[in-house]
Amino acid sequence: MRILLAVLLALTASACAVGSGAVVKGAGPDDLLKLREGPGLNHKIIMGLPDGTRLTRQNCVTSNGKVWCKVTLADSPSISGYVSADYLAHR
């Protein structure tokens, strides 16, 4: 059990590594992942991101039981905000 827990913690840590590349995945063909000003649904939407958008992950936090990651757009680093980690994949 300890080994399984250690492996899960290592995977979680690497998934939220600062500066790691990520891509939007799972928003769907007719929807956009919301880039928000802060971590949580109560924060203002900056813009919508379609599947395939390349991001750079800065850090991740938990808010109300959900993991939110601060990201910047890989092609426009001056644009940053928070997205739900549920819609991020490694690139």
Instruction: Please answer whether residues 49 and 89 qualify as being in contact, where contact means their C-beta atoms are separated by less than 8 angstroms.
Output: no
Q: Kindly state the average pLDDT of the residues 62-76.
A: 95
C-alpha 55/C-alpha 89 separation (Å) is 10
What is residue 49's predicted lDDT score, i.e. its pLDDT? 98
Q: Is 2-90 a CATH 2.30.30.40 domain?
A: yes
Domain boundaries, the chain: 2-90
What is residue 5's predicted lDDT score, i.e. its pLDDT? 36
Q: Count the neighbouring beta carbons within 10 Å of the beta carbon of residue 4.
A: 8
Element spanning 45, H or E: strand 45-49
Provide the pLDDT confidence category of residue 14 given band limits of 50, 70 and 90. very low
Which is it for strands 88-90 and 66-73: parallel, antiparallel or unpaired?
A: unpaired
